């Protein structure tokens, strides 16, 4: 019997004293639940299946939001679940395919003598740069292909040995990186190639709160009890097996949502680079809906509320995606302009020109600084106010990466979960 009414809500309580943004903890929790469910549950659509695996990347400046600590805290809970295969956080695509082949298990189908073979691996990657080598096109292609988690036999040809056959491959990845790494290592080709539209980027640049000594605010026994409850329920959830279905209300909601997605494209998704993401948004939502359902009940049914909530969570990441894409494949002037505006915002929306130059000179030459500031002013993102010899830059209401239009009642990750009580 479960001990948590809603696993994700209890996990939010478990991490509430952390300095990391609530959204990062939520999506880490999603990754953990996905790791427990593996390919044991699915949504069948005849031509394909949706399975609850994700590529989730926490993005933030080094040492600010505790990305690696956040990820580790969640994924350690998977050690309490039998049968979880962890992939190394540093590998080649050959090593990844070998690890998946070795992870093969035969899952019995209840009430029959049949088995379903599957090869499931979860990777917890504290530094994305040790796992993903963007110059390795084959690695990119393999990751792109494996995200779909289809019911197929995936074949990998090895020169020095027999072919590796992976039955029903399933790969779940959660990793951490910085905007600088993305800027320096990924290109627009990565967007066009299809991998990045399969990734959910969770961006954070500021601490949620200041907690210098967590042990002073977190009672040891209470923390341990919540941890035990989470571990117990995670093992329980890992036993779920079978095909999810959408109830009548969920199907009606999903049909209307799908029509609106393609016929009423939101203004914040007008960027052509996001065309591929739109094609996968439905998949992201249904993957997440399975996780949200599993977090609170054993019945393999997805409700309208599950889909609606999943849509709000995924849509809530689209601003983060725009921030990330702005650093990938963008012209140098655009990157410098975004960096400049971020410095001014952190200073309260106003910064003296000399001080701005001091914080920007590490990454910009004088000519680049002048071009970026001029572009920001002409685009309406900054305005200049001169007082005698002093020149100050002020931010405006214009957003370089405008947030998606919020829907009525749209809330933070914690508030959304709390609203489900």
Give the three-class secondary structure for 384: strand
Q: What is the pLDDT of residues 341-361, one digit of tens each?
A: 888 888 888 998 888 988 888
Span 229-240, average pLDDT: 97
Nearest alpha carbon to residue 191 among 150, 147, 140: 140
DSSP secondary structure letters along 44-59: E-SS-EE-S--EEEEE
Q: Which residue has the higher pLDDT, 298 or 275?
A: 298
DSSP secondary structure letters along 99-136: HHHHTEEEEEPTTSS-EEEEEEEEEEES-HHHH--TT-
Nearest alpha carbon to residue 351 among 397, 391, 387, 399: 391
Q: Judging by DSSP bridges, how do beta strands 199-203 and 86-87 pair with one another?
A: unpaired
Q: What is the pLDDT of residues 76-109, one digit of tens each?
A: 999 999 999 998 767 777 778 778 888 888 887 7
309 pLDDT more than 80? yes
Please tell me what DSSP assigns to residue 84. P
Question: How far is Cα 118 from Cα 39, in angstroms, rounded to an integer?
Answer: 7
15 pLDDT more than 70? yes
343 near 360, Cβ under 8 Å?
yes
The secondary structure element, H or E, covering residue 172 is: strand 169-177
CA distances from 182 to 57, 121, 188 (A): 11, 24, 11
CA distances from 130 to 89, 204, 228, 353, 355 (A): 7, 21, 32, 38, 35
Most confident of 177-191, 297-311, 375-389: 297-311
CA distances from 143 to 106, 226, 264 (A): 23, 35, 31
Question: How far is Cα 357 from Cα 354, in angstroms, rounded to an integer?
Answer: 5
5 pLDDT more than 50? yes
Q: How confident is the model at residue 408 (pLDDT cuts 50, 70, 90)?
A: very low
Q: Tell me the pLDDT of the chain averaged across its residues.
A: 85
Angle between the N-to-C axes of helices 304-315 and 275-294, in degrees from 0 to 180, rounded to the nearest 10: 130
Q: What is the pLDDT of residues 19-61, one digit of tens each?
A: 999 999 999 999 999 999 999 999 999 898 999 999 999 999 8
Span 269-280, average pLDDT: 72
pLDDT at 338: 78
179 pLDDT more than 80? yes
* Angle made by CA atoms 116, 289, 194, in degrees to the nearest 5: 80
* Biggest distance spanned by C-alpha atoms of the chain: 86
């Amino acid at each position: 019997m479960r001990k948590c009414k809603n696993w994700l809500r209890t996990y939010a309580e478990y991490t509430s004293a952390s300095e990391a943004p609530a959204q990062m903890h939520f999506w880490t929790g999603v990754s953990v639940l996905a790791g427990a469910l593996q390919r044991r549950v699915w949504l069948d659509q005849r031509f394909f299946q949706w399975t609850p695996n994700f590529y989730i990347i926490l993005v933030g400046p080094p040492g600010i939001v505790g990305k690696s600590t956040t990820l580790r805290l969640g994924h350690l809970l998977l050690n309490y679940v039998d049968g979880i295969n962890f992939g190394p956080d540093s590998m080649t695509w050959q090593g990844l395919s070998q690890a998946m082949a070795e992870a093969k298990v035969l899952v019995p189908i209840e009430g029959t003598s049949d088995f379903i073979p599957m090869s499931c691996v979860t990777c917890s990657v504290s530094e994305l740069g040790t796992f993903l080598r963007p110059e390795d096109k084959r690695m990119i292609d393999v990751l792109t292909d494996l995200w779909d988690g289809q019911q197929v036999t995936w074949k990998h040809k090895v020169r020095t040995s027999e072919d590796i056959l992976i039955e029903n491959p399933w790969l779940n990845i959660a990793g951490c990186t910085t905007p600088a790494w993305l800027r320096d290592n990924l290109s627009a080709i990565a967007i066009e190639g299809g991998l990045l539209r399969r990734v959910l980027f969770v961006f954070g640049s500021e601490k949620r709160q200041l907690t210098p000594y967590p042990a002073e605010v977190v009672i040891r026994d209470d923390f341990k009890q919540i941890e035990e409850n989470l571990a117990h329920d995670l093992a329980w959830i890992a036993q779920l097996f079978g095909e999810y279905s959408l109830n009548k209300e969920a199907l009606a909601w999903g049909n209307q949502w799908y029509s609106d997605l393609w016929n009423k494209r939101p203004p914040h998704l007008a960027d052509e680079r996001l065309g591929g993401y739109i094609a996968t948004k439905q998949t992201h939502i249904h993957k997440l809906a399975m996780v949200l359902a599993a977090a609170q009940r054993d019945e393999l049914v997805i409700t309208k509320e599950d889909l609606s909530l999943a849509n709000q969570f995924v849509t809530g990441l689209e601003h983060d995606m725009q921030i990330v894409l702005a650093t990938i494949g963008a012209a140098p002037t655009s990157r410098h302009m975004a960096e400049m505006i971020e410095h001014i915002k952190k200073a309260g929306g106003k910064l003296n020109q000399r001080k701005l130059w001091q914080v920007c000179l590490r990454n910009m030459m004088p000519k680049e600084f002048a071009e970026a500031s001029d572009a920001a002013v002409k685009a309406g993102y900054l305005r200049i106010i001169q007082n005698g010899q002093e020149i100050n830059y002020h931010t405006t209401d214009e957003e370089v990466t405008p947030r998606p239009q919020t829907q009525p009642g749209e809330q933070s990750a914690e508030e959304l979960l709390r609203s489900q009580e």
